[in-house]
Amino acid sequence: MLTPDENEMLTRSGKATPGGEFFRRFWLPVALSRELPAPNCPPVRVRMLGENLLAFRDSQGRVGVIEPRCPHRGADLYYGRNEEDGIRCVYHGWKFDIAGRCLEMPNAPPDSRYRDRVKIVSYPTLEYGEMVWAYLGPPGELPEMPRLEVGAVGAEHRFVSKKLQQCNWAQSMEGALDTAHFSFLHMPAPEAFDDINAQAPVDAKRFRWVRDDPMPRFEIVDHEVGFVMGAARKADGEEMYWRTTQFMLPSHATTPSTLPGETYFGYTWVPIDDVSCWIYTYAWNPERSFGKEELDKFAAGFGVMSVVGPDYVPIRNRGNEYLIDRDDQKHRTFTGVTGVAEQDAMIHDSQGHIADRTCENLTATDAGVVHFRKMMLAGMRALGEGTPPSAARNAKAYHLRSGSWIADKRFGFEEIMMQRFGDPMGRVKP
């Protein structure tokens, strides 16, 4: 468990908080590229790390992320006209570019240089992996874009979306690192296993291995930008079923189930404020492209995706109790909630808007959660003492994979990673 001060440090992400300052040293997604589909299209409201911002794509296709208030009289630039490489306030016509510079000030004399002294806050942006990323940290310390593999593959090899999570980012992040919960939360009801036997296909076998061994053995190895975690369960005979997960600072993770040739999944958490966050979700396959049927499957909630509305709020959410079906829970599924991602969201939200970690009772299967907390708190404290996170300047080290492997029980974790990925940390060459 954490102390009250540690829980406060881990969960707060606004300006001048240890967590907020730590997040601001990294590039973070602020929108999907498709939310700004064309030059001079309508702007998009953005809220992240407790700060209200505005994103817009100018006439040259560049994306700006700026403060949303016109410095003249405080009108909201969201209602402005996006035109000719700038967004124009409709109140008195002041116009600003993606760097926050005032381009035009129609209600000042033509020969006045007043507009040269007026500037609004703007943040650097990049597009990578069909996401718009922004850097909100100190201007002179711009890091490299983290080279997550989803952005390195061709567009036809990936699917990217996002979803709202109605709780603090950290408890949702912890859920991704708690791979032991799969033995319960995502299981069919016990009756649904009646037809699973030793001759079942591998997917059914994987379910059975996870169900039958709810106490996996965990091993964790730190690397340049976070850590990789392996969870070993008993498989058939003398074999072990390994599921590996990557955590990358400050808030990226990959899922553990992918076998060779299957699709990889990952997600990135971005705090909106202390009680909600965006989760950017993505699937990618470096070996083959996705067809329409598969893309439709992702859009319908397969993998880490959720079924979302046009505002990217999940159809099943805190407000409607995730459309829980008690009859389904009694006879067919463990939860009565449809969708793996929705099951996760339900349980994370149920811990409260901000989980109270001072009253927990942890076990050995919480190893990944404990390691994550220690790493985040250590990074925040180090930054407070003047040492910025080195991971932010190690972009290539984010090119990582995780997944499953079946091997003889004699092999250790790093040997398993070498067999699975050819590298003990799951690194792949960019």
Task: Tell whether 244 and 120 lie within a shared domain.
Answer: no
Single out the residue in 141, 159, 192 at which a domain terminates.
141
Task: Tell whether 285 and 360 lie within a shared domain.
Answer: yes
Does some domain include residue 20?
Answer: no
Tell me: pLDDT of 225 over 50. Answer: yes
Tell me: pLDDT of 200 over 80. Answer: no
Does some domain include residue 358?
Answer: yes
Task: Tell whether 175 and 90 lie within a shared domain.
Answer: no
Confidence of residue 199 (pLDDT cuts 50, 70, 90): very low
Q: What is the pLDDT of residue 194?
A: 55
Task: Tell whether 263 and 347 lie within a shared domain.
Answer: yes
User: Are the C-beta atoms of residues 69 and 77 closer than 8 Å to each other?
Assistant: yes
Single out the residue in 109, 141, 173 at which a domain terminates.
141
Confidence of residue 333 (pLDDT cuts 50, 70, 90): confident
pTM of the entire structure? Answer: 0.95
C-alpha closest to that of 55 among 122, 137, 146: 122
SS3 176: helix
Report the phi/psi class of residue 409: left, alpha or beta, with left for phi > 0 and alpha for psi in -120 to 50.
alpha
Distance CA 119, CA 69 (A): 11
Confidence of residue 193 (pLDDT cuts 50, 70, 90): low
**DSSP tag of 374:** H
Confidence of residue 202 (pLDDT cuts 50, 70, 90): very low
Does some domain include residue 297?
Answer: yes
Task: Tell whether 159 and 123 lie within a shared domain.
Answer: no
Single out the residue in 141, 173, 195 at which a domain terminates.
141
Give the pairing type, strands 131-135 and 27-32: antiparallel
Does some domain include residue 428?
Answer: no
Does some domain include residue 273?
Answer: yes
Residue 200, both tokens? 């079942």
Task: Tell whether 234 and 375 lie within a shared domain.
Answer: yes
Does some domain include residue 426?
Answer: no
Reported as half-sphere exposure (CB side, CA atoms, 13 A), residue 165 has a value of 38
Neighbouring-strand partners of residue 226: 223, 248
Give per-residue pLDDT as tens, 120-144: 999 999 999 999 999 999 998 999 9
SS3 352: coil
Give per-residue pLDDT as tens, 96-119: 999 999 999 999 998 899 999 999
Task: Tell whether 290 and 208 lie within a shared domain.
Answer: yes
Q: What is the pLDDT of residue 204?
A: 76
Q: What is the pLDDT of residue 144?
A: 93
User: Are the C-beta atoms of residues 253 and 241 closer than 8 Å to each other?
Assistant: no
Structural domain total, the chain: 2
Give me the chain's average pLDDT, please.
94
Does some domain include residue 22?
Answer: no
Q: What is the pLDDT of residue 195?
A: 47
Task: Tell whether 242 and 362 lie within a shared domain.
Answer: yes
For tokens 């300052």, the residue is 21
Confidence of residue 331 (pLDDT cuts 50, 70, 90): confident
Does some domain include residue 38?
Answer: yes
Task: Tell whether 206 and 338 lie within a shared domain.
Answer: yes
Task: Tell whether 201 and 181 lie within a shared domain.
Answer: yes
CATH code, 124: 2.102.10.10
Q: What is the pLDDT of residue 110?
A: 87
Range of the domain at 110: 27-141
Neighbouring-strand partners of residue 123: 65
Task: Tell whether 92 and 200 lie within a shared domain.
Answer: no
Confidence of residue 207 (pLDDT cuts 50, 70, 90): confident
Task: Tell whether 157 and 94 lie within a shared domain.
Answer: no
